[in-house]
Amino acid sequence: QQQVKQSPQSLIVQKGGISIINCAYENTAFDYFPWYQQFPGKGPALLIAIRPDVSEKKEGRFTISFNKSAKQFSLHIMDSQPGDSATYFCAAGGGSQGNLIFGKGTKLSVKP
């Protein structure tokens, strides 16, 4: 019940295209859903996060869509750029446990 399932494992997108990464969770106590971006040799960087009281949040080219009834959320990267090539992790948190539960990551490659 603590798992966060992320797909796909890897994604190749052409420059200017839309990258879509999906996550599903099981624990209905989760109420915080962030996305992190990680470049090789670096720590994960917080990209964007959403609470379940909204269905969508947009920051620049990055959008989170959230479906509470399906217990799913996704990251959309519009106008993908080669500089977006990185590993993306979804996560979920909430309740009293404090820590985040992470998906296994998606390696995104944006081809010029």
Partner 1 sequence: EAGVTQSPTHLIKTRGQQATLRCSPISGHTSVYWYQQALGLGLQFLLWYDEGEERNRGNFPPRFSGRQFPNYSSELNVNALELEDSALYLCASSWRGHLLDPYEQYFGPGTRLTVT
Per CB under 8 A, residues contacting partner 1 are: 32, 34, 36, 41-46, 49, 89, 91, 93-94, 97-105
CB of 14 to partner 1, least distance (A): 26
Closer to partner 1 by Cβ: residue 76 or 102: 102
Spatial neighbors of 96 by CB under 8 A, at least 6 apart, are none
Closer to partner 1 by Cβ: residue 17 or 101: 101
Spatial neighbors of 13 by CB under 8 A, at least 6 apart, are 19, 80, 108, 109, 110, 111
Burial of 60 (0-12, 13-18, 19+ CB in 10 A): exposed
CB of 79 to partner 1, least distance (A): 26
CB of 54 to partner 1, least distance (A): 13
